[in-house]
Amino acid sequence: MTGNTLVLSFDMETDVGSWTSEVRGITMGTPEILRVLRNRDTPATFLFTGREAQNHPEAVEGVLADGHEVGCHTMFHETIGVPVYDVPVGSFALESEIEGRLQLATETVTRVAGIRPVSFRAPRLFGSTNMIKALEKLEYRIDSSFPAYFHARDFLPYHPSSEDWSKEGSMSILEVPVFYDMDADENGDKNRGRDQWPMLRLKGAKWFAGLCERMFEKVKHKSGNSVLCVYLHPWEFVKMPEKVHTDESTIAFKPFLYKNTGSFALEALDEFIALAKQQGWRFETLKDIAA
């Protein structure tokens, strides 16, 4: 059997991140995602914000009923780490608040799910050393917040240092970076265009499967195994608008945030899983990787 493993993970948050307060992705997208995963007999990890878990327990219950993992994604999709690109909206937690906010989010998800989450991802991959230390204190086993595209380094899982989460160390928690396209030429190592999201939706299943195949070969653990963590959002599987109107503003999204959302994205997910299984790649949850 091949040593190539894929983790499908979904950040369960408000639509288009912090840019709207709607949750059509949670209410309408989640059942469609679960249908695809059920038909393909494929496990996944769903990382809920505490607020969305609390407000939509039926989504959490649906995920658990199908045997998937429930993880945590902060309480309100707030920034708890160091931003790696400009986002002028959303709350930013002070360093002194991080542990308390993560504890509240963990307790909320636990109360709704009935099990304590062991996997975490920071919104927008804005992580930090203080965040990792707080997660370890809260007994999380695995984090998947590291933006490998920003640091322009490989994306092998590693145990981080308590002095610098971007470096290997001796912490118990395992870091599983979100992989990126190491071959992309995007005018600088820190350009978001190298990230693998949202390429499944923008370029389609065959292109994305080809990217995974290339990246499996680019970065291999000495054991011969490779792990790629794919991150997605439930709102991508519901048709998103080009603009949203609020009481104080009108927000016009860049095309990459709404292009091919809805049925195209669902079909791409289904086709990608089929192609991956044809290649003999196996799917696991984040907690499976930690184990």
- For 63, residues 6+ apart whose C-beta sits below 8 A from its C-beta are 30, 34, 46, 69, 70
Nearest to 236 by CA among 88, 17, 5, 76: 17
Query: 185-244, pLDDT tens digit by residue?
Result: 655 545 778 999 999 999 999 999 999 999 999 888 777 788 999 999 999 999 999 999
Nearest to 34 by CA among 227, 242, 225, 237: 237
CA atoms within a 13 Å half-sphere pointing along the CA-CB vector of 284? 16
Longest CA–CA span in the chain (Å) reads 56
Question: What count of other Cβ atoms lies within 10 Å of the Cβ of residue 167?
Answer: 11
Looking at residue 1, its pLDDT comes to: 41
Looking at residue 122, its pLDDT comes to: 97
Q: Which domains does the chain have, with CATH numbers?
A: 4-290 (3.20.20.370)
Structure tokens at 215: 């990246």
Quick check: 47 and 73 in contact, CB under 8 A?
yes
What share of the chain has pLDDT > 90, as a percent? 80
* Terminal Cα distance for the chain, rounded: 19
